[in-house]
């Protein structure tokens, strides 16, 4: 399909998203099955339900635009899923596997957030306000899913996963800066301590693991002389 106008580009973006969302409806159950952390399994399962709504919302958009949903397979999402499956097959420890799942799921979320943001801007540009509103609803859910994954990583999974660093260094490294949280949001959260209203707290297992680790002498070979 030749892309000559912003209308063409909007339909192209929506078809790409449609393929990406449909691929995710198959990939999310696989991620949930591989996960062991309860909050993570719940988050992935909830997002699967939302993802099915995202597919229906895109169908609404095609209807409003009088366009077909048929397009090429989204190779971007295909690559992300392929890479995710590869990484999971290499993760031996359960918590490391959970951390890898979050990392892979957030790659997919960020891909979607970027694509929905562009598609919404294109819809507004060509006067398709109703389409833009539909895309906004999905965009909000994608951002919330991404934020929740960051919270689960920082409050539980990254803390539970084993590290090779001496314990004091590992504790300093705990408020992970990665996991998709934007720099601004990260500094806001660290400034306020724990997230307000967050039901997710570091698990007692993680606390136990930390206090056990703190009684151990520093590992040889990791100290500097």
**Residue list 109-138, contact with Fe ion (CB under 5 A):** 112
Long-range contacts of 63-70 (CB under 8 A, 24+ apart): 64/128, 64/130, 64/131, 64/134, 65/7, 65/10, 65/11, 65/14, 65/128, 65/131, 67/11, 67/14, 69/14, 69/15, 69/18, 70/15
Of the candidates 165, 180, 153, which has an alpha carbon nearest to the alpha carbon of residue 98?
153
Number of alpha carbons in the 13 Å side-chain half-sphere of residue 17: 33
**Residue list 69-98, contact with Fe ion (CB under 5 A):** none
How many CB atoms are located within 10 Å of the residue 141 CB?
A: 19
Residues 175 and 139 sit within 8 Å (Cβ to Cβ): no
- Least Å distance between CB 10 and Fe ion? 17
Specify the residue, 98 or 112, whose C-beta has the smaller distance to Fe ion. Answer: 112
Looking at 11, 39, 40, 54, which residue binds Fe ion (CB under 5 A)? 54
- Least Å distance between CB 116 and Fe ion? 8
Encoded tokens for 46: 């909830």
Cα–Cα dist 175/185, whole Å: 13
Residue nearest to Fe ion (CB): 54
- Least Å distance between CB 40 and Fe ion? 15
The piece of 85-93, 106-114, 128-136, 164-172 that touches Fe ion (CB under 5 A) is 106-114
The piece of 47-55, 85-93, 162-170, 190-198 that touches Fe ion (CB under 5 A) is 47-55
Specify the residue, 44 or 206, whose C-beta has the smaller distance to Fe ion. Answer: 44
Q: Is the dihedral of CA 126, 132, 133, 134 positive or negative?
A: positive
- Least Å distance between CB 51 and Fe ion? 5
Residues 88 and 101 sit within 8 Å (Cβ to Cβ): yes
- Least Å distance between CB 123 and Fe ion? 16
Could you give the string, one character per residue 194-213, with x where binding to Fe ion holds by CB under 5 A and - elsewhere?
--------------------
Tell me the number of residues near Fe ion by CB under 5 A: 5
Specify the residue, 16 or 112, whose C-beta has the smaller distance to Fe ion. Answer: 112
Binding region for Fe ion (CB under 5 A): 21, 51, 54, 112, 142
């Amino acid at each position: 399909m030749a892309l000559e106008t912003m209308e063409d580009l909007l339909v192209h973006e929506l078809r790409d998203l449609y393929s990406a969302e449909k691929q995710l409806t198959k990939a999310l159950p696989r991620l949930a099955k591989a996960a062991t952390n309860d909050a993570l399994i719940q988050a992935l399962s909830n997002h699967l339900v939302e993802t099915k709504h995202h597919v229906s919302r895109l169908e609404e958009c095609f209807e409003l635009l009088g366009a077909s949903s048929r397009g090429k397979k989204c190779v971007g999402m295909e690559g992300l899923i392929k890479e995710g499956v590869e990484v999971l097959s290499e993760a031996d420890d359960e918590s490391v596997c959970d951390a890898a799942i979050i990392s892979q799921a957030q790659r997919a979320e960020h891909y979607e957030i970027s694509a929905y943001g562009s598609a919404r801007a294109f819809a507004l540009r060509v006067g398709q306000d109703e389409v833009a509103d539909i895309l906004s609803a999905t965009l909000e859910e994608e951002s919330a899913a991404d934020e929740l994954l960051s919270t689960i990583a920082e409050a539980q999974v990254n803390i539970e996963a084993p590290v090779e660093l001496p314990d004091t260094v590992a504790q300093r490294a705990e408020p992970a800066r990665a996991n998709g949280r934007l720099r601004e949001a990260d500094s806001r959260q660290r400034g306020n301590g724990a997230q307000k209203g967050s039901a997710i707290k570091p698990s007692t297992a993680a606390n136990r693991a930390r206090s056990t680790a703190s009684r151990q002498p520093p590992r040889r070979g990791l100290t500097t002389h």
